[in-house]
Structure 1
Amino acid sequence: MKTGPLYTRRQVLKKGVMLGTSLLSAPLIVKAETLGLNGRVGPNSRINMGFIGTGSKMMSSIWVADNKKVQPLYVCDVQPRNLKWAQDFMIEQDYPDVIPTQDFEDVVNDTSVDAVLICTPDHWHAAISLVAMRNGQDVYVEKPMTLTIAEGQAMVKAEKRYGSIVQVGSQQRSNDAFRKAAEIVRNGWIGEIKEVYADLGAFPDPVLKPAEPIPEGFNYDKWLGPAPYEVYFEDRVDPYLNGGWRRFWDYGSRKNGDWGAHHFDIIQWALGRDFTGPTLFIPKGYEGEKHMTYVYDDGVKVIKNHPEMKGHMIRFIGTEGEVLVSRGGKLKSTPKELASRPLNPSELHLYRSGNHLQNWLDCIETRKRPICDTVIGHRTGTICQLAGIAERLGRPIRWDPEAEQILDDPAAARWQDRPRRAGYELPA
């Protein structure tokens, strides 16, 4: 067993306590500030971590619990079946004392927690992250970082104010093929970029169904959280990657936020636009537009779901060649030799991260900027959200990336934020 007995939080906030005359023999697990580290984790400390949202997406991230730098303290989910799965996983990894809870507040308000890993549906990302940062915790939050532009702005301010290390789960930045593709573009090997194609796929429209009984123990009201109250049926909350809650605008940005948060992010990186964004979003079907398109101020066009992807996820087209990239390490270029050509020392080398979660852990220790912080996550998220606004309104959206404001369309500008249900206001 990797830790000694863990008593209730109200009894003991640290692992390793005196009980009567007996001293627990477990290693002492304390928050970094107790060690004189000013609230930050040092190189010889373990990171006390909470895992929030233990559904299907957490399955690809929960392995970090077995990292020697990590001490799991909590697993959290509003669905009992998800919570049991996560607790069983922790037991299998020899962490039988991890606390299961349905309330994320138990995790973010516990002063012994150093960091949280958030894998909830998109509409909960910002609120949980903001409270965690306010309480001095570091945050890994799944992509897209937020559901609205206003939430993204709040996240950027909070990261700066509280000094938290925030990593957004756009893990393609930590992939060699995507980084090399971005470096080929950034170093001008294929000339001036004219167009970029991104394959996002498409969701079917959600189908509203009659109300079904809420499963026993499932806190459905809290699952909805800030979203409007709607009747429960299983497909509304289903985590299925090709459907379920991802099809509903109330909880996500459909494919714009699903695959767009990955591919738009790489496009931003490759074009050197991490701190700005496009200026025009044109929805599919507007005045005969065949594909959703967004445009940067220099005329570069990004086209969603273009049919000529040549078997890849992203295709950069330049005046002197092109580069195509996909998951699975697929990288192809014209001229062919560019894909395998090494960078010269004098050329631009982008941030190198071989593992997205490990990069976050390393930065928690060093307090250096992770590969995908809130500024980057917010700018990518803004593209996802503006594309969705244009799609839903059926008209072009003009955007000022400096002022972060929709232009010349007051009705559309109201969509930069969304109303939140009473009791689920965005934390300050």
Structure 2
Amino acid sequence: MKNTRRDFIRASAAFTAAVGIGSTMPSAFSMITDKPKKKIRVGAIGINGMGWADLNALLNHPDVECTALCDVDKNVLDRRTQELAKRGIQVKGYGDYKDLLAAKDVDAVVIGTPDHWHCLQMIDACKAGKDVYVEKPLGNSIAECEAMVRAAKKYDRVVQVGQWQRSQKHFRDAVDFVHSGKLGEIRLVKAWAYQGWMKSIPVKPDGPVPQGVDYKGWLGPAETRPFNPNRFHFEFRWFWDYAGGLMTDWGVHMLDYALLGMKATRPKSVMASGGKFAYPNDAAETPDTLTTVFEFDDFNVQWEHANGIDGGPYGRNHGVAYIGNKGTLVVNREGWEVIPEKGRMEAVPFQSKVDDGLALHAVNFVEAIQKKDKSLLHCPIEAGAHITVFSQMGNIAYRTGKKIYWDDAKKRFNDREADQLITAAYHNGYAIPEV
């Protein structure tokens, strides 16, 4: 996701300052000069899904080359290595990410592994002197996000979080309109993800680890369990051991813009209600239906998600709606429009997207590395941590079944059950690094 704004609350100074992107966005490569630059040598860790997409976005940049790939699934590693070879790109393949981080021909890394690995790998990468492009959500717990921010600062690394909508012009234009005040007083912001293509996950029996898969390496700090295909590639999102369901998968994107539009930081309280209403007997653990309310002083932010259906608010399967006294602005990945209250303001017809967010996000990462200027990043680690913590609060409210209150001074909820979920449980000898 994306966008601009400044320092509103002292506790969120790093977050809001990091969001300060200009109001106009050039095309993906118009900011690249013809002057030859030293190549940035990139290695990618976790290359089955978004890690592969992120790497290819970077490889479109003339100043980037790929030198290394890493994946615990040798089948994926071999396939991606061969795909690059067909394009004339020769890389080294690694099964252990620490071997890749030790390589002297790697300057920066892409981390596209499951959520439960982001913290350890990002901190290790920073410690190894690498700049990092890490997929969202930044971490799998509040404590992980806090440690990751400390590590990026301690080791002085450029860290871009993969919320690429922050690099798209139409999202920023929509937020600028919200900030103009033309909608009148905004009482409610709705953010949602209704994902019809995410169907029920049928229960499958445990089975043997597929040939070529380092299952122990895949589990890492997660609890050791028998191998089950439902918990592996992509579907890991629906299990608490590894991720946070749609709340953190899509919530970090949509809620990010809800907060940017309202210049908001931490909520006063959070409550959530939902469950496995559509598919009560399938294999997933995370809720397929959820409503979460984040309370602020003079407005609320409401999150909704639903697996298996597309009929979201305003006829859109995802988006953010700022509901004001004079009108409502609705924005999603396709564009934005303003729906007026009758007689109170003029409508703004649909404004379509005009650029490629992922491509722009990659260019922005490269530029920040080349200029050694973290302030250029569209989604620096402080911003990625802020919205991930916000989304994790929603999951904690759901999992405890309570209305919870965050104590920012003490960095806890002052509720024993909720506080236990601040830190993800680590197993197999792993621990969040002391930073």
* TM-score, structure 2 normalization: 0.78
The aligned runs of 1:322-333 (5 Å cut-off) are 322-333=328-339
Corresponding residue of 2:425 = 419
Match of 1:238 among 220, 227, 233: 233
State the Cα distance separating 1:166 from its structure 2 match. Answer: 0.7
- Specify whether residues 125 and 290 from structure 1 end up closer, same or farther in structure 2 by C-alpha distance, changes over 3 A only: closer
- Structure 1, residues 132-167: CA drift from partner, whole Å, max 9, x if none? 111211110011000000010011111221211111
How many Å separate the matches in 1 of 2:217 and 2:39?
A: 31
Does residue 375 of structure 1 match 2:369?
no
How many Å separate the matches in 1 of 2:349 and 2:101?
A: 44
Corresponding residue of 2:159 = 166
Is 1:172–1:266's contact at 8 Å kept on the other side of the alignment?
no
Is 1:177–1:326's contact at 8 Å kept on the other side of the alignment?
no
- Specify whether residues 268 and 61 from structure 1 end up closer, same or farther in structure 2 by C-alpha distance, changes over 3 A only: same
- Specify whether residues 192 and 354 from structure 1 end up closer, same or farther in structure 2 by C-alpha distance, changes over 3 A only: farther
State the Cα distance separating 1:76 from its structure 2 match. Answer: 0.6
Does residue 182 of structure 1 match 2:186?
no
Does residue 317 of structure 1 match 2:311?
no
How many Å separate the matches in 1 of 2:172 and 2:160?
A: 17
Q: What code does the residue aligned with 2:392 have?
A: Q
- Specify whether residues 415 and 146 from structure 1 end up closer, same or farther in structure 2 by C-alpha distance, changes over 3 A only: same
Segments of structure 2 that go 5 or more residues without pairing to the other structure are: 1-34, 276-288, 352-356
Is 2:75–2:212's contact at 8 Å kept on the other side of the alignment?
no
Corresponding residue of 2:399 = 392
Q: Comparing both chains, which one has the higher relative contact order based on Cα–Cα distances under 8 Å and sequence gaps of 6 or more?
A: 2
Does residue 281 of structure 1 match 2:304?
no
How many Å separate the matches in 2 of 1:165 and 1:83?
A: 26
- Specify whether residues 172 and 402 from structure 1 end up closer, same or farther in structure 2 by C-alpha distance, changes over 3 A only: farther
State the Cα distance separating 1:332 from its structure 2 match. Answer: 4.0
Is 2:133–2:160's contact at 8 Å kept on the other side of the alignment?
yes
How many Å separate the matches in 2 of 1:265 and 1:199?
A: 12
Corresponding residue of 2:17 = none
How many Å separate the matches in 2 of 1:402 and 1:271?
A: 22
State the Cα distance separating 1:123 from its structure 2 match. Answer: 0.6
Q: What code does the residue aligned with 2:133 have?
A: Y
Partner-residue secondary structure (3-state), 2:93? strand
Is 2:54–2:358's contact at 8 Å kept on the other side of the alignment?
no
Corresponding residue of 1:301 = 301
Match of 1:363 among 351, 359, 368: 368
State the Cα distance separating 1:207 from its structure 2 match. Answer: 6.0
The aligned runs of 1:249-268 (5 Å cut-off) are 249-268=240-259
- Specify whether residues 280 and 293 from structure 1 end up closer, same or farther in structure 2 by C-alpha distance, changes over 3 A only: same
Corresponding residue of 1:222 = 217
State the Cα distance separating 1:333 from its structure 2 match. Answer: 4.2
Is 2:336–2:350's contact at 8 Å kept on the other side of the alignment?
no
State the Cα distance separating 1:301 from its structure 2 match. Answer: 3.0
Identity %: 30
Partner-residue secondary structure (3-state), 1:172? coil
Partner-residue secondary structure (3-state), 1:416? coil
- Structure 1, residues 173-201: CA drift from partner, whole Å, max 9, x if none? 11222111211122322122211111223
- Structure 1, residues 57-107: CA drift from partner, whole Å, max 9, x if none? 2342221224211121111100112112221222122112x1011111012
Corresponding residue of 1:89 = 83
- Structure 1, residues 254-280: CA drift from partner, whole Å, max 9, x if none? 01111101101111222223xx32121
Q: What code does the residue aligned with 1:309 have?
A: P
Partner-residue secondary structure (3-state), 2:165? helix
- Specify whether residues 336 and 99 from structure 1 end up closer, same or farther in structure 2 by C-alpha distance, changes over 3 A only: farther
* TM-score, structure 1 normalization: 0.79
Corresponding residue of 2:74 = 80
How many Å separate the matches in 2 of 1:108 and 1:44?
A: 23
- Structure 1, residues 322-345: CA drift from partner, whole Å, max 9, x if none? 10011123444434554689xxxx
How many Å separate the matches in 1 of 2:226 and 2:248?
A: 24
Corresponding residue of 1:8 = none
Match of 2:44 among 51, 56, 59: 51
- Structure 1, residues 358-382: CA drift from partner, whole Å, max 9, x if none? 1111111112220111111111001
- Specify whether residues 78 and 133 from structure 1 end up closer, same or farther in structure 2 by C-alpha distance, changes over 3 A only: same
Q: What code does the residue aligned with 2:223 have?
A: P
